[in-house]
Amino acid sequence: MQDLDPSTTGLIDPFGRAVTYLRVSVTDRCDLRCVYCMAEDMTFLPKKEILTLEELDRLCGAFIALGTDKIRLTGGEPLVRKGVMTLVRSLGARIGAGGLRELTVTTNGTQLTKMAEDLYAAGVRRINVSMDTLDPGVFAAVTRWGKLEQTLDGIFAAKAAGLAVKINAVALKGVNEDEFDRMVAWCGEHGFDLCLIETMPLGDIGGDRTDQYLPLSLVRSRLRKTWTLEDTDYATGGPARYVTVKETGGRIGFITPMTHNFCESCNRVRLTCTGTLFMCLGQDDAAEFRDLLRAPSTDDAVLAQAIREAITRKPKGHDFVIDRRHKRPAVARHMSMTGG
């Protein structure tokens, strides 16, 4: 393992990767119960275990001082957290030279009709909206009690506010696999990028994941029957590999943790709403920051050193497996804890 020079500002992991992207789950709560993300009967964390918005802001600020230039706010559903715009505005004020290059949000879209304009005013320019289907009945089944119209209204409110929208869709066998041509066409019509995601073995969702898993290699080969997919070097700093759809001019991203491990270029760590930092989505090793943040003796230097130490433990990659011999989740925590 390489030693990190405490006098440098950047965060470099043991494999020489610069860690510049922080994903922050601001809440474990959500107003939907998507079948690949949560169990229907979830038990959420007590308030005392959740970092305050001020604590989240301080920890994000420490990462920014150490070279983090992109922060994505996630959940659960981040926009259901009371007062979350206070955090968004504070982070948005750090966009610029020597600070953040980009502040983004991943949302299910239910709150966007109320909050899209505020997000844009705070400095957010791109958002990801999770929407796995354009069929109202399938949408209700996948989200367990969501309404497609509410999410669509939010998406178009975001577009009207000036936000670039990317649609995130989890590929689910037997659920939405016959919809991808339709979604490509719809996203192309409205100017949205589309990102397809393989389901990941995180958390007990009350079902067999082999019943959900659909490899994107298969999805991509099916799409090629209708669309001309052209390679592109476009990248957002995340794990998606993009192609351009010649017929629409739009882009499709593929996130393939199962069929093509993307760990060699990983630049991300994930902070939960309780102050737990996961250096890898698919590993259980973590660093705890809540007690440190709440200790009167913790100054900025102590916080920075704790972050640096955590990065020295970032693993080379994850070990996701989904097959009939591995029905149990690879990681016990639900996706909603770390925000994907």
Lowest mean pLDDT among 67-76, 113-122, 258-267, 306-315: 258-267
30 is in an annotated binding site: yes
Q: What is the pLDDT of residue 318?
A: 57
Q: Is 68 annotated as a binding residue?
A: no
Q: Is 273 labeled as ligand-binding?
A: no
**Structure-block tokens of residue 273:** 């709403």
23 labeled part of a ligand binding site:
yes
Strand order in the sheet with 193-198: 229-231, 241-245, 251-255, 193-198, 164-171, 126-130, 102-107, 70-74, 21-25, 268-271, 276-278, 286-288
For domain 21-338, give the CATH superfamily: Aldolase class I (3.20.20.70)
Q: Is 280 labeled as ligand-binding?
A: yes
Q: Residue 228 and residue 245: Cα distance in Å, rounded?
A: 6
Confidence label for 284 from pLDDT (cuts 50, 70 and 90): confident
pLDDT at residue 315, rounded to an integer: 82
Whether 234 has a binding-site annotation, put simply, is no
Question: Residues of the chain with pLDDT > 70: what percent?
Answer: 85
Is 200 flagged in the annotation as binding? Answer: yes
**Position 331 pLDDT exceeds 50:** no
Task: Give the Cβ contact number of residue 135 at 10 Å.
Answer: 16
CA 1 – CA 146 distance, rounded (Å)? 47
Q: Is 268 among the annotated ligand-binding positions? A: yes
Query: Residue 151: which of 136, 172, 173 has the closest Cα?
Result: 136
The amino acid that residue 265 corresponds to is S
Tokens 């955090």, located at residue: 87
- Average pLDDT, integer, range 108-128: 98
**What pLDDT does residue 260 have?**
52
Q: Is 106 annotated as a binding-site member?
A: yes
| Percentage, residues of the chain above pLDDT 90 | 73
The answer to whether 72 is annotated as binding is yes
Residue 239 confidence class, pLDDT cut points 50, 70, 90: confident
pLDDT (0 to 100) of residue 329: 45
Q: What number is the average pLDDT over the span 255-279?
A: 81
Say if residue 298's pLDDT is above 80: yes
Torsion on CA atoms 211, 215, 218, 221, rounded to nearest 10: 150
| Annotated binding-site residue? 328 | no
Q: What is the DSSP letter of 211?
A: G
Question: Chain-wide mean pLDDT for the chain?
Answer: 88
